[in-house]
């Protein structure tokens, strides 16, 4: 880990001199900080990419994965406080489960009266005030659970078919799915920070009209970007996504006051 790491939960993190903004990135269910390892290479030099590692994976493999969102949010708020309350502006990016983490963490930050993010980038996730479309899957028998993972098209078939690998990762994936499946939305005041929603045009889990509803959860500006692809469009169209994020940052710093 980088010796200049401002937060212990950052991984694949490279500090930069005099960043204009920090982008804290939260993974999808079953994912890790690895998903954002190369983003530094494609974003502007003044954007410091901070992939957040959740308990139970890679360098935090010795820790038990967390199964309830309130517990995870409290832990992340404590761990990320040095970055949140530093003098450098920050934003959140989260895909799927990571979008839910980003939103709930912003609510927790507001509750603690800390400095708010300048932007929430929320990807591939229906906003939580909408009723859930999917049945709970975290407690399905193993074969059915793996079939559900296969439908999402985010895990290579060679991984799904490897029993040793799946025995290692299934407890983590199940814990993440439990976070999402058991989450209870608490209606509160809308956030004051801008929200930008991202999604895939062919995502069977999140339609454009779903993403549009994120605007109900902010009193600030809202924008939406759609890309070709399914739920995991961000792998195939990473450059287009990062270009959109960079443009949103440019607008944020040049927004009329």
Q: Which residues are catalytic?
A: 96
Distances (CA, A) of 106 to 52, 187, 256: 15, 14, 23
């Amino acid at each position: 880990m980088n010796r200049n790491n401002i937060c212990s939960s950052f991984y694949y993190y490279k500090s930069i001199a005099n960043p204009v903004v920090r982008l804290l990135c939260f993974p999808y269910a079953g994912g890790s900080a690895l998903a954002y390892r190369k983003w530094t290479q494609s974003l502007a030099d003044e954007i410091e990419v901070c992939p957040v590692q959740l308990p139970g994976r890679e360098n935090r493999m010795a820790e038990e994965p967390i199964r309830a969102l309130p517990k995870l949010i409290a832990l992340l708020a404590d761990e990320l406080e040095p970055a949140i309350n530093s003098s450098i502006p920050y934003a959140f990016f989260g895909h799927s489960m990571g979008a839910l983490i980003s939103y709930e963490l912003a609510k927790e930050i507001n509750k603690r009266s800390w400095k708010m993010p300048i932007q929430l980038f929320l990807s591939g996730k229906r906003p939580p005030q909408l009723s859930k479309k999917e049945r709970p899957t975290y407690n399905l028998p193993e074969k059915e659970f793996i079939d559900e993972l296969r439908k999402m098209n985010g895990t290579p078939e060679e991984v799904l078919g490897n029993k040793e690998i799946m025995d290692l990762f299934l407890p983590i994936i199940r814990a993440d799915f439990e976070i999402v499946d058991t989450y209870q939305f608490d209606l509160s005041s809308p956030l004051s920070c801008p929200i930008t929603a991202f999604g895939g045009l062919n995502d069977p889990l999140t339609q454009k009209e779903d993403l549009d509803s994120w605007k109900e959860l902010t009193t600030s500006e809202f924008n939406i970007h759609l890309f070709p692809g399914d739920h995991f469009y961000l792998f195939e169209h990473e450059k287009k996504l990062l270009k959109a994020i960079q443009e949103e940052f440019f607008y944020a710093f040049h927004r009329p006051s």
